[in-house]
Amino acid sequence: MAAVMGFKCGLVGMPNVGKSSIFNLLTSQKIDAKNFPFCTIDPNIATVEVPDERLDKLSILNSSKSKVNAVIEFVDIAGLIKGASKGEGLGNDFLTHIKNTDAIAHVVRFFIDDDIIHVNGKPNPDSDFSDINSELMLSDIATLESILNRITKSKNSDKEKNILKQEVSNALDKLNNSNFLDKTDLEKVKEFFPDIKMLTQKPMFVIANVNENTSEKEIEKFKGNLPNDITVVEVDVKTETDLNELSNEEKTEFMKEFNITESALSKIIKTGYSLLDLKTFFTSGEKESRAWAAKKYFNAHECSGIIHTDIQKGFIRAETVSYDDYIKSGSEQASKANGVWRQEGKDYIVTEGDVIYFRFNV
Ligand SMILES: Nc1nc2c(ncn2[C@@H]2O[C@H](COP(=O)(O)OP(=O)(O)O)[C@@H](O)[C@H]2O)c(=O)[nH]1
Ligand SMILES: [Mg+2]
């Protein structure tokens, strides 16, 4: 697995539901592209820092020369409309964009505003949501049909071919019955064709774009119709964007008034991290304090590889202390004196918030 530094989140949804507005809101604290070599200049892709107060504190404590936050990349995927998988709108191009994301944020319009046109005349969260999902399913059906071809042409034995075709056919049945694929579908097919990416197997959450006219009932009704493992994040994009123009003091005051307890960015980061099973660990010293994102199940050895493959190859041990113990002690030296500084081996499952120093040999 390549270095996990955060994740790439694609915004999909019907036209005029607020995708670009959300993209602009989330990326208003966008980091300069030149600091991130993997960052493209595409206006629809932006890299955003994951705010983390713990990192701020560590950086101050160690007077670090630089501070590097974890990042999330957002992609504003325009052009998905009913019929897209058949080439309507921008057609299949944008489906490729979705294939390259780690998670899909499905934006659904709940705000009521007669001035903003809806492509089907009137917003209907349930049918908007299912229209877009149908396009994802149709795209997966097309992918599977081309896979069937590849299986037939492959050099596998007839017995193997039949096993693979059966798996594809089970998946097609699900999709043709308007169901998403499960994570466990197509396991064998993927062993043979590791490059295939199914859209309906991507982790998905919903961003409900609400305004003051949205009724709580409508949201509850929508949630009731969802498969229960889909998280719904409510965001009032317009109000939050307006609040960004204010001073911090005014902002805090108005957030209270509008009952906004947490920023859209913060809610989306939390949802994404939990959907993708990510945890954060830190490295911190005079030179740099840095936050790293890793899969929750990663042990010390795997986490060291996120920083550098050389560290993983020459891994000796992880010296680590929990964030709270580090802050309570006040420094690396003091946490050693307090006996909270631990020596851990390769298999140690890194805990959320651990501050780690990796010892290695090259
Ligand atoms: N009243 C209202 N208008 C919104 C809201 N979000 C987006 N809009 C407006 O809806 C239109 C389409 O928004 P946009 O972000 O471009 O939608 P996209 O097509 O999904 O990217 C724009 O005129 C926005 O200003 C909202 O929460 N409330
Ligand atoms: Mg747009």
Quick one: DSSP state of residue 349? B
Cα–ligand 2 centroid distance for 90 (angstroms)? 12
Q: Residue 316 falls within a domain, yes or no?
A: yes
Q: What is the DSSP letter of 20?
A: H
Question: What is the 117 CA–ligand 1 centroid distance (Å)?
Answer: 9
Q: What is the rounded average pLDDT for all residues in the chain?
A: 89
The answer to whether position 317 is within a domain reads yes
Residue 10 C-alpha to ligand 1 middle, in angstroms? Answer: 17
The larger pLDDT score, comparing residue 217 to residue 5, is at 217
> DSSP labels for 134-153?
HHHHHHHHHHHHHHHHHHHH
Residues near ligand 1 (Cβ within 6 A) = 13, 15-21, 111, 113, 116, 209, 211, 237-238
Q: What are phi and psi of 24, to 5 degrees?
A: -65, -40
Residue 309 lies in a domain: yes
Q: Using the predicted structure, report yes or no on whether residue 279 has a pLDDT greater than 70.
A: yes
* CA 13 to ligand 2 center in whole angstroms: 9
Give 202's pLDDT tier (boundaries 50, 70, 90). very high
Lowest mean pLDDT among 50-59, 108-117, 171-180, 305-314: 108-117
Out of 19, 21, 258, mutate this one to test ligand 1's pocket (max ligand atoms within 8 Å of CB): namely 21
How is residue 318 written in tokens? 């992880």
Nearest CA to ligand 1 atom 15: 18
Ligand 1, atom nearest to 115 Cα: 1
Number of domains in the chain: 1
CA of 16 from ligand 1 middle (Å) equals 5
Buried b (16+ CB within 10 A) or exposed e, 272-286: bbebbebbbbbbbee
Residue nearest to atom 24 of ligand 1 (CA): 18
Which atom of ligand 1 lies at the shortest distance from residue 237's CA? Answer: 27
Question: What is the CA(14)–ligand 2 centre distance, in A?
Answer: 9
The answer to whether residue 341 sits within a structural domain is yes
In a domain, 320, yes or no: yes
Q: What is the model's pLDDT at position 96?
A: 77
Tell which atom from ligand 1 comes closest to the C-alpha of 14: 20
**Predicted TM-score of the model (pTM):** 0.88
Give mean pLDDT, residues 69-85.
Answer: 78
Q: Please give the pLDDT value at position 86.
A: 64
pLDDT (average), residues 82-102: 70
Rounded percentage of the chain residues whose pLDDT exceeds 70: 90
Q: Is residue 321 part of a domain?
A: yes
| Residue range 18-68, pLDDT digits in tens | 999 999 999 886 666 555 544 445 668 888 889 999 999 999 999 999 999
Sequence-distant (≥ 6) Cβ neighbours of residue 325 within 8 angstroms: 335, 338, 340
Strand-strand pairing, 315-321 and 355-360: antiparallel
pLDDT category of residue 252 using cuts at 50, 70 and 90: confident
Q: For residue 180, is pLDDT > 90? A: yes
What is the largest distance, in Å, between two alpha-carbon atoms of the chain?
70
Kindly give, in sequence order, each residue whose CB lies less than 8 Å from that of residue 229, ignoring residues fewer than 6 positions away.
none
Residue 84 resides in a domain: no
Residue 222 lies in a domain: no
Query: Can you tell me the distance from the alpha carbon of 70 to that of 291, in angstroms, rounded to the nearest whole number?
Result: 5
Structural domain including 311 reads 297-360
* Nearest Cα residue to atom 11 of ligand 1: 16
CATH of the domain at 353: 3.10.20.30
Report the alpha-carbon distance of residue 27 to residue 45 in Å, rounded: 9
Out of 27-31, 120-124, 314-318, give the one with best mean pLDDT.
314-318
Q: What is the pLDDT of residues 229-251, one digit of tens each?
A: 899 999 999 999 999 888 888 88
SS3 222: helix
Q: Which ligand is nearest to the CA of 115?
A: 1
Top mutation candidate among 11, 16, 119 for ligand 1, by most atoms within 8 Å of CB: 16
Between 157 and 2, residue with greater pLDDT: 157
Residues 242, 250: Cα–Cα separation, whole Å: 12
Q: How far is the CA of 173 from the centre of ligand 2 (A)?
A: 33
Report the C-alpha gap between 303 and 352 in whole angstroms.
12
